Amino acid sequence: MTRHGPATERLEFGFMLYPYPDPLLWPQLGDLAATVDDLGYFAVFFPEHVLPPTGAEAHLANRDWPDSLTLAAFMAARTRRLRFVPGVSVLPYHPPVQYAKQLATLDHVSGGRVILGVGAGWYEEEFDRLGIPFSERSAITDEYLAAMVELWTAERPTFAGRHIAFEDVSFEPKPLQRPHIPLLIGGSGKAPARRVATYGSGWYPMTGTTAERKAAFAAMRDAARRAGRDPDELWLVGNCYMSIEPAQERAGSHVAARRPRERPAAASVPELVAQVDEQVGAGANLIIVRTAWDALSDLTAALRRFAEDVMPRFR
């Protein structure tokens, strides 16, 4: 295995809780959280939909979409180290004052283990059902993000925007993490790059070949450096697929035309090591483990296998 410098020196592994189990079995989710915490996983990612159209289950590979922050609080009670990433959270879906309050509270409840994944969203039909203008989603995201950071960091928060404004307000508690909850910016293009340079603690790209991501990661590090920030502090996200099922393929169809979909049916340990090594070589330092599963026991077994057979190769 090749060592690649800074990314390998700060390499962590997370996993995506997706698709959500049907039905949602809360005690088993608590057991899963405790197990992966003991196995040394860094973070769990929670994808989000709030009000999708009727019949969207086949496209999204899910019927149940629990509230990410409530689920994270439940799992936090069973863990000591695991971080919780609502990600990617579609920021225009959430009133920013209330969302900032919920996240700050969760940060305290979890002992400072929240990382917020932020995206502008892609599902126009869901925006329509929530009464949010799809064409304005990027501007809304920028404004909400700036407003939330103001609430989290300013002693006397004041904000005047087109979509949200406040003054003469008290906002407590501030997040436990300072200066604020880390922000993992999702998506690709100029707007996400700008958000990373301004606020972000990391980047979660949605598209691109390995070569394209390598160039994009390097550009992101350069942008952080130009903004006076330490590029080695950025989390740069890659993926490792143990296996993938057709439902998960369909759920990624909104970016499939721009993203290679060559994924293993069931990867061997050498193949998994090669996948991680390829991602690290591109500059990633936070790897999301993805796998197909029917029962939570299957997911637990797959994550245990990866933790025992693959993760030690990179420690």
pLDDT at 41 (0 to 100): 98
Domain ranges of the chain: 6-314
Work out the average pLDDT over 156-160.
98
Sign of CA dihedral 175, 99, 74, 89: negative
Work out the average pLDDT over 33-37.
98
Is a pLDDT exceeding 50 seen at residue 7?
A: no
Is a pLDDT exceeding 50 seen at residue 4?
A: no
Instruction: Please name every residue paired with 221 in a beta bridge, in sequence order, or none if there are none.
Output: none
**Is residue 239 a contact partner of residue 264, using CB atoms and an 8 Å limit?**
no
Per-residue pLDDT reduced to its tens digit, 96-148: 999 999 999 999 999 999 999 999 999 999 999 999 999 999 999 999 999 99
Burial of 250 (0-12, 13-18, 19+ CB in 10 A): middle
pLDDT at 170 (0 to 100): 97
Per-residue pLDDT reduced to its tens digit, 270-279: 999 999 999 9
pLDDT at 208 (0 to 100): 79
Which band of pLDDT confidence, cut at 50, 70 and 90, is reported for residue 266? low
pLDDT at 104 (0 to 100): 98
Q: Which two tokens stand for residue 43?
A: 């973070």
Which band of pLDDT confidence, cut at 50, 70 and 90, is reported for residue 265? low
**Nearest partner of 138 among 154, 152, 127, 149, judged by Cα:** 127
**Mean pLDDT computed over every residue of the chain:** 88
The residue ranking higher by pLDDT, 99 or 220, is 99
Distance CA 108, CA 129 (A): 33
Residue with tokens 């969207």: 56
Cite the beta strand spans of 163-285 per DSSP E: 165-166, 183-186, 202-204, 235-241
H/E stretch holding 290 reads strand 286-290
Instruction: Indicate the class that CATH gives domain 6-314.
Output: alpha beta
pLDDT at 5 (0 to 100): 41
CB atoms within 10 A of CB 296: 18
pLDDT at 280 (0 to 100): 96
**Is residue 226 a contact partner of residue 215, using CB atoms and an 8 Å limit?**
no
Per-residue pLDDT reduced to its tens digit, 43-72: 999 999 999 999 888 778 778 889 999 999
Which band of pLDDT confidence, cut at 50, 70 and 90, is reported for residue 175? very high
pLDDT at 245 (0 to 100): 57
pLDDT at 198 (0 to 100): 85
SS (H, E, C) 164-216: CEECCCCCCCCCCCCCCCCEEEECCCHHHHHHHHHCCCEEECCCCCHHHHHHH
% of the chain beyond a pLDDT of 90: 66
What CA dihedral angle connects 40, 192, 119 and 116, to 10 degrees? 40
The residue ranking higher by pLDDT, 7 or 88, is 88
DSSP symbol at 227: T
pLDDT at 228 (0 to 100): 86
